[in-house]
Amino acid sequence: MRRFGSFAAQCGGPAGLAGVLIVTVLVTVAVFAPVIAPFDPLQVSILDKLNTPDNIFWFGTDQSGRDVLSRVIWGSRASLMVAAGAVMIGLAVALPIGLVAGFYSGGWFEQATMRVLEAVSAIPTLIWGIALVGIFGVRSAVWGPFTITNEEKLLGLLGLLYVPTLARLTYASAVIESRTNYVAARRLQGAGGLRIMFSDVLPNCLSPLIVQATLLLAIGIVIEAAISFVGLGVQPPTPSWGNMLASAREYLLSGEWWLSVFPGAAISLTVIGFNLLGDGLRDRLDPRHTTSGITT
């Protein structure tokens, strides 16, 4: 029991523990979707269409007789992939920018970068996401030997929209760390700028970034669902929670409640999971609360 207690404390209390559990279950479900899903999510069966939930189809079936439970399980893949991919791209672009601007603070590079980042923070994410996906078009783009699916475009775009927030956060810690004595000592040892930046400054900037990244995962889940909901995200027949909700709309007035309730519940559960995890991590890693909360 004591070991369990200390693990909960590691996660930042019982709420953090709940977050860890929810996220672990979700990732497991997404990774093992082919094994876990009871049916093929794309298998059309007109005879079974619009079945109410029963003990064969736990979440019922949709207008083409596809199993809703299996589609919700497979849908977790698209959601998590877009959310996680976007955060990774955001970090990959933002980290070097924030580090360099913070490490060489006082120079023109810092001034120019920070002003521009501050300026582009005035970009409302959801609108730009919708508009740019709309302009790109939802078809897969072929670029040399690569085929870029709409999901990949979406995650790239979201990732870039995260850059201002993440880069400013990196900068804020990097500028403080770069003025500490240990960095001065590393300089006197003759270590190069790049080396100090990545092996000494970066590890000490990570805490707030990890917390923010977790909260951005929650935001990414909702944004992906919203964009798929207006038909610009994951394209049918590939299931995603957003596009399942979009097709469920047509069956609202006729009362097929299971079509809209289950995918939405999946979104909510995921968002709760990442939020709890983020809050727990924040209590543990970033007690001064430098990260901003959840606003999309």
Partner 1 sequence: MMFGMVLRRVAFSAFSLVVVSLLLFVLTRSIADSPARIVLGDQASEQQIAQFDRDHGLNRPIAVQYVTWISRLMLHADLGRSFTTGLDMNRQIRNTLPVTMEIVGIAFLVASIVSIGLGVLSALWRDSPIDYLARLLAVFGVSVPGFWLALVLILALTVERDWFPPGGFVPLSQGGLMEHLRSIALPVFCLSIFYLAVLTRMTRSSLLEVLDQDYMRTARAAGLHAGRVLLYAMRNALVPVITIAGVSFGHMFGWALIIEQIFNIDGMSRALLTAIQQRDYSMVQAVVMMFTLVFVIANLVADLLNSWINPRFAMAAS
Footprint of partner 1 on this chain (CB under 8 A)?
A: 115-116, 118-128, 130-132, 134-136, 222, 225-226, 229-230, 232, 245, 248-249, 252-253, 255, 257, 260-261, 264, 267-268, 271-272, 275, 293-296
Residues sharing a CB contact under 8 Å with residue 133, sequence separation 6 or more, in sequence order: 150, 153, 154, 157, 227, 232, 233
Which residue lies nearer to partner 1 by CB, 122 or 142?
122
Angstrom distance (rounded) from CA 199 to CA 172: 18
Which residue lies nearer to partner 1 by CB, 92 or 116?
116
Which residue lies nearer to partner 1 by CB, 46 or 135?
135
Residue 232: closest CA among 115, 154, 285:
154
Phi, psi for 65 (deg, rounded to 5): 80, 15
Least CB distance from residue 34 to partner 1, whole Å? 27
Which residue lies nearer to partner 1 by CB, 125 or 212?
125
Residues 80-114: b if buried by 16+ CB within 10 A, e if exposed: bbbbbbbbebbbebbbebbbbbbbbbeeeebeebb
Least CB distance from residue 165 to partner 1, whole Å? 11
Residues sharing a CB contact under 8 Å with residue 155, sequence separation 6 or more, in sequence order: 81, 82, 83, 85, 86, 89
Which residue lies nearer to partner 1 by CB, 61 or 183?
61
Which residue lies nearer to partner 1 by CB, 40 or 286?
286
Which residue lies nearer to partner 1 by CB, 34 or 137?
137
Angstrom distance (rounded) from CA 239 to CA 71: 6
Least CB distance from residue 108 to partner 1, whole Å? 17
Least CB distance from residue 245 to partner 1, whole Å? 7
Least CB distance from residue 243 to partner 1, whole Å? 12
Residue 205's alpha-carbon distances to 86, 87, 88, 209, 233, in angstroms, are 20, 17, 16, 7, 33
Least CB distance from residue 187 to partner 1, whole Å? 31
Least CB distance from residue 192 to partner 1, whole Å? 33
